[in-house]
A and B are shown apart, each in its own frame.
Chain A
Amino acid sequence: MSALLGLAHLAALLLLPFPVVGLVNRTKARWAGRKGPRLLQSLSDLRRLLRKRPVYSRVTTVLFVAGPLVLLASTLVAGLVAPLLGAFAPLAFRYDFVVFAYLWGLGRLALMLAALDTGSSFEGMGASREATFSALVEPALFLALGTLAAATGQASFSSLLHVGFGSVAQAVVSAGVLVTLVILLQVEAARVPVDDPTTHLELTMIHEVMILDHAGPDLAAVQYAAAVKLTVCAALIAGMLNPLGPADGPGLVAAVNLALTLAVAVGVGLVESLVARLKLQVIPQYVLVGAASAFVALLTTAWWQGGGR
């Protein structure tokens, strides 16, 4: 059973990003009254990019080519730790969520270095913004996951997310962590209102401006990694919302989780249709909202466990 689930996890990790990105774009298109691209358009884009020959800047070193590969490798390995299918992950061990967060950190560092490698001031600007916002979102993520660890008494990512909404305290903890995870999704996967993956104005972008010089397979790796990150974040949110527990059988939990993940993708599309991008100066405050809500969840947990009950 667990081998089967492992295969399903791997398949979800590698293939789910395409329909998730497709759903986000389709939702935005429908909301704007357009028909929108095919659901698997991003798969065709990826194949087209893989066939192209890249052009490199004369100042770049081997790091420029290595950056996207390290980003993709670390994102994929981190994806094996994250519970994409509810309460299961192929690599589950104590404090695996720390490994997850730091693997993402490694990918980010590789991408930032590849951006700086070009010597372009635009890409330096993008790397600077990425570094700033990710440094701020990191403590929010750890507050959220640490709170979940304290609330559930578990130490592995795949068993952390089932806090549920049973009592008032549990509902507050879940809601606080959910807010953090939504903001995490928007920062890490570069979505509106933090960043806009479709804008092409260099001065306002974060993620896209770092990859101005990447082309062909390098760009494909970066875009695929971004889609995987979006999917993993959506699956984490789905795991928090999933009403089924381990008692209901892993197959059913996985199916519900997949459906919820797609629903979260639709939600991301709706947010992008309805909300404008934030000004760059207020993004740190927006990220702090994530840390603050996780802090509320932490205080609630402390009160709840410390005898407040």
Chain B
Amino acid sequence: MTLLWLAALALLVGAALSLGLKDNEHRGWAAIGSQAVATALVLIEVVPVLLGGGDLRSSVAWSFPIDRIAVHLDPLGAFFLAWSLPLTLVGTVYALGYLRPWFRTRNAGVQFALLNVTSLSFILIYTVESAFVFLLGWEIAAVAAWLLVVWDYRNQKIRFAGFNYLVSTHIGLFFLLAAFMVMYSQVGSMDFQAFGPFLRTPGPLRNVTFLLLVTSFGLKSAFFPFHTWLPRAHSAAPAHVSALMSGVIHKAGLFGLLRVTLLLGAPEAWMGWYVLGFSALSVLLGVLYTTAQRDLKRLLGYSSTENVGIAGMGFGVGYLGLAWHQPALVALGFTGGILHLLNHAFFKCLLFYAAGAVYRATHTVDLERLGGLARRMPWTATSFLVGGIAISALPPLNGFVSELLIYAGLLDQGAPAGIERGLLVLGAALLAFAGGVSALAMTRAFGVTFLGAPRDPAVHCDGEVPRSMRLPMALLALGVLALGLLPWLGLAVVEQPAALFLAGLEGARPATQLGAAALLGPVAGVGALLLLVLAALAAVRWWLQRGAAAPRRVTWGCGYTAPTPRMQYTGTAFSSQFTGIFPTVLRHLRRERLPEGPFPPPGDHINTHCVDAVEQRMFEVMGEGDGLVTRLARQIPVEPRFSLAAGLVVLLVVIGMVLTAAGGGR
């Protein structure tokens, strides 16, 4: 436990140094150094707990109103700490390279100090057992993230995105506060362990608390429909901040959900269906939005909603397993879900770093203006490709490993035969759809950005990014490969946390014996075989073409001899057929002035972009909600179907009131 305190101290000293030192370069190195020390200390403390060495507990007396800070490091918190701090360190290294162009004009110390503070908030959130201190850590993380987002605060759009995030995250905080207040009023303590007995007793108040908590954690992790702040914040923030928010900071919401799950004991089946359904909705809509975005970072933001949904589907399966007393479902669901969190952290950070490198080199992330970057930036292109394959859950990379476990949970025969099993199979089909759509979105993002020829002559590429930005990408890409080709690595890390959920079930064995390890062995075999076959084919290919090099000519234009780079397929064109199938969700805004007459005046343009339907409706209702109601009410006497519907509603209400009155009179 002492090492954790020392780590916190190191982070604070590092933050102070980042603020106090004179030179931006030194400030950056102070943050990196202090975080490296803190990470090493935390890992020394955390790894034994994670590998089954037993929990650590301690307690510190504090003044009113907190009384006592209980600190409890269990495998779940240890798991989150074990990757959150190292990934933040990697992000800080990236930040040093990413922010360097501003070093002459801006004070980057604040950014570095805030990154340290973010690491500090992880230590608080993942270890404390007192609701007060937990909320403090929660709030520190939220405000630090907001300040990190508004780095370029002179831009009004970015200020708006930051403010939007700040408001959303505090709405989530209110839900969390409400839940804590309900629990405090019932048990008279702010200690998590004291909440346990209340949360384990079935009753309406338990259900309400559960819904409040899920809503709050859903907002934090950007589940649909609480995701509206996310694409804005991710496209506005510097790349390292987007990466850390999406991959690391917002996993705190899912940590909260898991922590509450441990306190819930045996949840009811409806809670499982609720988590599963909520997550499935996030997967579906998150992935649909990734297909239509023009902004590379916005696209990656929506894919966060999809991926937390995938992890959430795993948790939903685990909930159902707890409700039905099926250890196999619990093991597969929670192991898969927790492993997906880790995998997502790796490939999402990787993708955001690659997108940030594109921004550094070309000063834009607009897909329609990019193209042909693979030959100018081979490192970045390789990183993005590895991340894109992993996020589409394709073998042999790590995304596939965790999704396979979730598939296994969804298709397991432990679910009651009949409609329940049918619904879970539908969930598997939805996951497959998300995989296919994600492959479309990533092909589009990678293909339009990195392949072909540059689309816009005005965009100038500065070439490959500096080493301090390539190193984090290379590290994460290696992590993605290792977790995919050696799935036991990931499994060893998530085994103990997943075992916590099995503890409540009678006669349950450790997660590895329930099929997770047996499932992943063949997957590693298939991955190795795939690489072997590929190497063999490449050798044959090389042997066939030995000797003279192949000649290089222009791309075959099907007989057309004057093609220009502007004639390449654009990102919008690539996805237009797919988005056309979902017009209600993927609304496109068009701003256009088309040429007219034989001698059109200059200034013609057409501009399309995909708007978020939820956000648009939300603003519509907030801006002119009363107007909408009036317009609808005015339609009732005019449109026969509306009047019929209104009449039916009135009839139902009257019948309901009569029945209630009759019931009350009896």
Q: Is the CB–CB distance between B421 and A61 below 8 Å?
A: no
Q: Is the CB–CB distance between B541 and A99 below 8 Å?
A: no
Expressed in whole angstroms, the Cα–Cα distance for A284 and B537 within the complex equals 34
Q: Flag whether A232 is at the interface (Cβ < 8 A).
A: no
Interface string of A122-135 (1 = CB under 8 A from B): 11110111011011
Q: Flag whether B144 is at the interface (Cβ < 8 A).
A: no
Expressed in whole angstroms, the Cα–Cα distance for A81 and B453 within the complex equals 39
Q: Flag whether B418 is at the interface (Cβ < 8 A).
A: yes
Q: Flag whether B577 is at the interface (Cβ < 8 A).
A: yes
Interface string of B552-589 (1 = CB under 8 A from A): 11111110000101011100011111100100000000
Name the residue in A113, A142, A217 with the highest tally of chain B Cβ atoms < 10 Å from its Cβ: A142
Which chain A residues border B451 with CB–CB below 8 Å? 61, 63, 113, 116-117, 119
Q: Flag whether B651 is at the interface (Cβ < 8 A).
A: no
Name the residue in A56, A74, A116 with the highest tally of chain B Cβ atoms < 10 Å from its Cβ: A116
Q: Flag whether B435 is at the interface (Cβ < 8 A).
A: yes
Task: Name B512-535 residues within 8 Å CB distance of A.
Answer: 515, 518-519, 521-523, 525-526, 529-530, 533-534
Expressed in whole angstroms, the Cα–Cα distance for A200 and B278 within the complex equals 46
User: Given A63-B451, A155-B411, are A122 and B558 neighbors across the interface (CB < 8 Å)?
Assistant: yes
Residue in A55, A95, A137, A212 whose beta carbon sits within 8 Å of that of B553 in the complex: A55
Which chain B residues border A298 with CB–CB below 8 Å? 422, 425-426
B50 to chain A, nearest CB (A): 27
Q: Is the CB–CB distance between A101 and B432 below 8 Å?
A: yes
Q: Is the CB–CB distance between B432 and A95 below 8 Å?
A: no
Q: Flag whether A278 is at the interface (Cβ < 8 A).
A: no
Interface residue tally for chain B (C-beta within 8 Å)? 83
Q: Flag whether A50 is at the interface (Cβ < 8 A).
A: yes
Task: Name B407-432 residues within 8 Å CB distance of A.
Answer: 407-408, 410-411, 413, 417-419, 421-422, 425-426, 428-432
Q: Is the CB–CB distance between A135 and B411 below 8 Å?
A: no
Q: Is the CB–CB distance between A105 and B418 below 8 Å?
A: no
Q: Is the CB–CB distance between A105 and B574 below 8 Å?
A: no
**Complex interface: stretch among B4-12, B117-125, B389-397:** B389-397
Task: Name A150-188 residues within 8 Å CB distance of B.
Answer: 150, 153, 155
Q: Flag whether A106 is at the interface (Cβ < 8 A).
A: yes
Q: Is the CB–CB distance between A135 and B555 below 8 Å?
A: no
Q: Flag whether B386 is at the interface (Cβ < 8 A).
A: no
Which chain B residues border A302 with CB–CB below 8 Å? 417-419, 421-422
Which chain B residues border A70 with CB–CB below 8 Å? 534
Q: Is the CB–CB distance between A57 and B556 below 8 Å?
A: yes
Q: Is the CB–CB distance between B569 and A121 below 8 Å?
A: yes
User: Given A69-B534, A136-B436, are A106 and B443 neighbors across the interface (CB < 8 Å)?
Assistant: no
Q: Is the CB–CB distance between A61 and B375 below 8 Å?
A: yes
User: Given A55-B551, A102-B400, are A143 and B407 neighbors across the interface (CB < 8 Å)?
Assistant: no
> Who on chain B is nearest to A58 by CB?
B552
B204 to chain A, nearest CB (A): 30
Q: Is the CB–CB distance between A53 and B554 below 8 Å?
A: no
Q: Is the CB–CB distance between A103 and B395 below 8 Å?
A: yes
Task: Name B340-358 residues within 8 Å CB distance of A.
Answer: none
Q: Flag whether A43 is at the interface (Cβ < 8 A).
A: no
B643 to chain A, nearest CB (A): 34
Q: Flag whether A44 is at the interface (Cβ < 8 A).
A: no
Q: Flag whether B550 is at the interface (Cβ < 8 A).
A: yes
Expressed in whole angstroms, the Cα–Cα distance for A137 and B440 within the complex equals 13
Q: Is the CB–CB distance between A59 and B574 below 8 Å?
A: no
Which chain A residues border B400 with CB–CB below 8 Å? 102
Q: Flag whether A194 is at the interface (Cβ < 8 A).
A: no
Q: Flag whether B371 is at the interface (Cβ < 8 A).
A: yes
Task: Name A58-95 residues within 8 Å CB distance of B.
Answer: 58-61, 63, 65, 69-70, 72-74, 76-77, 80-81, 91, 93-95
Q: Is the CB–CB distance between B417 and A305 below 8 Å?
A: yes
Residue in B429, B538, B557 whose beta carbon sits within 8 Å of that of A143 in the complex: B429
Which chain A residues border B440 with CB–CB below 8 Å? 131-132, 134-135
Interface residue tally for chain A (C-beta within 8 Å)? 84
Which chain A residues border B411 with CB–CB below 8 Å? 95, 146, 149-150, 155
Interface string of A270-300 (1 = CB under 8 A from B): 0000000000000010000001000000110
Which chain A residues border B545 with CB–CB below 8 Å? 53-54, 216-217
Expressed in whole angstroms, the Cα–Cα distance for A127 and B442 within the complex equals 12
Interface string of B429-460 (1 = CB under 8 A from A): 11111011101101110111001110000000
> Who on chain A is nearest to B540 by CB?
A217
Q: Is the CB–CB distance between A69 and B425 below 8 Å?
A: no
Q: Flag whether A306 is at the interface (Cβ < 8 A).
A: yes
Q: Is the CB–CB distance between B453 and A77 below 8 Å?
A: no
Which chain A residues border B523 with CB–CB below 8 Å? 99
User: Given A91-B526, A119-B555, A150-B425, are A56 and B430 neighbors across the interface (CB < 8 Å)?
Assistant: no
Q: Flag whether B181 is at the interface (Cβ < 8 A).
A: no
Q: Flag whether B372 is at the interface (Cβ < 8 A).
A: yes
Which chain B residues border A140 with CB–CB below 8 Å? 429
Q: Flag whether A258 is at the interface (Cβ < 8 A).
A: no
B165 to chain A, nearest CB (A): 31
Expressed in whole angstroms, the Cα–Cα distance for A59 and B554 within the complex equals 8
User: Given A217-B544, A302-B422, are A119 and B372 neighbors across the interface (CB < 8 Å)?
Assistant: yes
A132 to chain B, nearest CB (A): 4
Task: Name B494-517 residues within 8 Å CB distance of A.
Answer: 515
Q: Is the CB–CB distance between A59 and B404 below 8 Å?
A: no
Q: Flag whether B374 is at the interface (Cβ < 8 A).
A: yes
Expressed in whole angstroms, the Cα–Cα distance for A112 and B394 within the complex equals 14
Q: Is the CB–CB distance between A121 and B541 below 8 Å?
A: no
User: Given A119-B453, A213-B556, A305-B418, are A76 and B533 neighbors across the interface (CB < 8 Å)?
Assistant: yes
Q: Is the CB–CB distance between B578 and A132 below 8 Å?
A: yes
> Who on chain A is nearest to B438 by CB?
A135
Which chain B residues border A112 with CB–CB below 8 Å? 443, 447
Which chain B residues border A60 with CB–CB below 8 Å? 555
User: Given A65-B541, A106-B394, A147-B425, are A116 and B555 neighbors across the interface (CB < 8 Å)?
Assistant: no
Q: Flag whether B594 is at the interface (Cβ < 8 A).
A: no
Which chain B residues border A117 with CB–CB below 8 Å? 374, 447, 451-452
Residue in B389, B404, B541, B576 whose beta carbon sits within 8 Å of that of A95 in the complex: B404
Residue in B432, B554, B575 whose beta carbon sits within 8 Å of that of A128 in the complex: B575
Which chain B residues border A122 with CB–CB below 8 Å? 557-558
Q: Flag whether B632 is at the interface (Cβ < 8 A).
A: no
Expressed in whole angstroms, the Cα–Cα distance for A74 and B432 within the complex equals 18
Which chain A residues border B622 with CB–CB below 8 Å? none
> Who on chain A is nearest to B450 by CB?
A61
Which chain A residues border B558 with CB–CB below 8 Å? 122, 202, 212
Which chain B residues border A55 with CB–CB below 8 Å? 550-553
B290 to chain A, nearest CB (A): 12
Q: Flag whether B638 is at the interface (Cβ < 8 A).
A: no
User: Given A113-B446, A306-B417, are A217 and B541 neighbors across the interface (CB < 8 Å)?
Assistant: yes
Which chain A residues border B61 with CB–CB below 8 Å? none
Q: Is the CB–CB distance between B578 and A135 below 8 Å?
A: yes
Q: Flag whether A27 is at the interface (Cβ < 8 A).
A: no
Expressed in whole angstroms, the Cα–Cα distance for A80 and B393 within the complex equals 20
A interface residues, Cβ below 8 angstroms from B: 50, 53-61, 63, 65, 69-70, 72-74, 76-77, 80-81, 91, 93-96, 98-99, 101-103, 105-106, 108-109, 112-113, 116-125, 127-129, 131-132, 134-143, 146-147, 149-150, 153, 155, 202, 212-213, 216-217, 221, 284, 291, 298-299, 301-303, 305-307
* 19 pairs from A and B in contact (CB 8 Å cutoff): A59-B372, A81-B526, A94-B519, A99-B395, A105-B392, A105-B439, A117-B374, A117-B452, A119-B371, A121-B568, A127-B447, A128-B569, A128-B574, A132-B440, A138-B433, A140-B429, A146-B411, A149-B425, A291-B429
B interface residues, Cβ below 8 angstroms from A: 371-372, 374-375, 385, 389, 392-395, 400, 404, 407-408, 410-411, 413, 417-419, 421-422, 425-426, 428-433, 435-437, 439-440, 442-444, 446-448, 451-453, 515, 518-519, 521-523, 525-526, 529-530, 533-534, 537-538, 541, 544-545, 548, 550-558, 563, 565, 567-569, 573-578, 581
Q: A99-B404, A136-B436, A155-B408 are in contact. List 8 more A-B contacts (CB 8 A).
A: A53-B548, A58-B555, A103-B395, A113-B385, A117-B451, A127-B447, A134-B439, A202-B558
